[in-house]
Structure 1
Amino acid sequence: MYRTLMCCLCACVTLSQLYHHKSLLKEVTHRRAAAHAAQLRLAQAELNQRGWLGEQRRLAFEVELRFRAERQLLARVQEITRIVDVKQQREYAARSLAQRNAHSARDDLRQHTVWHSVAPDGSCPAEVPHWEWRLLLQAAEAVDPVLQYEALLQLGAQSRLTQSELLRLTGHYRTILRNPEFDGILDTAHPPCSSEAFAKMTGERILHMTCDDNPRYAVDDGVELLPYDGPVRLSGGETVVAYCGGEINVVSHPLRQPEIITRALSVKPILSRRPNLLIFMVDATSRAHFRRSLPKTLAALDRIAKFGARAADEGFPSGSGSSSSSSEGKLHVFDFEIYNVIGYNSMPNQLPLFCDVTPESLTSLAPNKCVWEML
């Protein structure tokens, strides 16, 4: 009995030890499996990282190759553009040279500026480009590159300027349009102006208006609008603003004031001989546009510069062999070729010429006064 009990007790102890060993073995096996899984995941992550690095290097290499190809293509396009521009400039130069030679053969009166020379019949110079400024405005405001290209293509056909020059000009014009100083001043819509004149003033200072739509007028800077019932004689004022419905005409007629002439003649001259100076300034226009719009005025100035006081003599020979110096007639013409636009309206453009100061300088001296009040 005792032996049997001891055998059962030993068997229980052995089973307990076996179960304990089995539990320990299972736990160790689980931990080892978890450790191997962690190592496997770490190895997989390292492989993925290496793969990503390799992919990143490959992509960077492809980007570098594409960038080099784009730079080579851009350089090629720039070279082709330069070749085309040089070819166009040579064609334009040859065409202009032929036109100048043709004008020189027919015109005895040479102008001091050959490139802008006026034709013998008084027409516009052939060398000055004629183009539609709306195309330049359209190219400067265009957001779609296709529309900009179409506008520059038409502008190039009209102006005979290369595409690179037109692109630079368009960029400058776009910068001007974006300048906040022109807000409310520059009207890019360019509404059509009425060419019909319904008001005029005769030599007896009599205002005549041809209008059936509530005609009215105001004299000088007067704020009162007067109804027009028929021809009216104006006693004072040099400028009349006439209204016909929604249309406006401005008519100017100089008012002779004898007291001003008497006062001017009574001033004793400071110099031994008074200078007679006439400043001919055309504001808000370019030099090329002046030469296109006023060819007869340009021809008259050139003739004065060449023949002096005898320029008005129609019988004076106009051939190149009969030219005389302007100093003989004591007349001189000075062309301010370097003088350019420095402001966006008349006042800042004229002050530096007449006063040798800028509008900002005058404003700083008297900040509460307008510029014209200090002149």
Structure 2
Amino acid sequence: MAALGDPIGIDERTVLVAGQELDLVHGRPDVANALVHRTGETLVLVDTGVTEPFREALREAAGRVGPWSRVLLLTTHGHPDHVGNNDLADLLGVPAEHYVPAADLGQMRDPVAYWVRAFERVAGLGVLPAPPREAAEHIVSLFRPLRPFGATTRTYEERPPERIRIGSLRFGGWTFADGAVRVLRSQGHCAGHVIVHLRDSGVLHLSDEANGPCGPMPDADQLKIQSALGSAARLLEEGAAAVLTDGHTFALRRGPGAVSHLDRMLDQAAALHAAALALAGGPGPVRPDAFTEGCAEAATALGVTGANPNPLFTAMMAVNLLRELGLRPGSDAPGAPWSRPRP
């Protein structure tokens, strides 16, 4: 298994820099993978992880793919494990551009408030190590120093939207470097999420859309996650993409193996939704603690995994599944029963 900062070569001008898993017990943050790619004279960085050792690994990877005379940094979404070294783009001694999703600016400015909101949803399920604010402050503290913005940071949405055709599919998004780099809106894992396609290397980087079949975040959209996975499989089947990478799998997937991986996640999503429906199918209100326990058992039986699977992650996913099934909590009290509103 790759260690933090290990370069995983894709071709002579493209490197995946490996991150690391979350370890709450030992106070270690997770670090998302980053892509380092050169197209022409442009160094393209897709996400920057977090921690000083990872920053140095990015610098070393940038030296492997050169030469370059300008930098383009693309942030896939605003979670701390992806944005901690974003100021690096302005420190490389060449003209730089940096783009982030507008919908994620709030969480990048105030990550504690974002995670408080996430944790408040599971406060009554016995999975938090502390009250929501205290838990959020502790977890965000693991990602210090956190430098999500630089002098050149702008939002993608400041650029005119484009219709982008790749293979038989059409996407909304933005292109860079004369079309060699495509940023595609996906917005499943969180509100602003994008995925990146490197045309000349055939790399499709799903970032955290591939964290699992059902997202745990309060602004996640299960349908969009599954749509992104299905579109990725189509691009790989058609040969419009050849290499699949993501934010938390420390390896490359190619061709049929990548398609099988995506199909497996889509099958798991359908099976997990079916299990959730059975758990919530009774006539009375649903206790979220019992529902969460049932979802955890179903996920284990199905082999569902994601980035940093743990009871907290599972509880957050279960709450999203309740909402996807059309149920709503009876009150704002922690652990309040959920029920389906009558038409």
TM-score category, normalised to shorter length: under 0.3
Q: Highest relative contact order (Cα 8 Å, sep 6+), 1 or 2?
A: 2
Which has more radius of gyration?
A: 1
The structure richer in helix per residue is: 1
When normalised by structure 2's length, the TM-score is 0.22
The structure richer in strand per residue is: 2
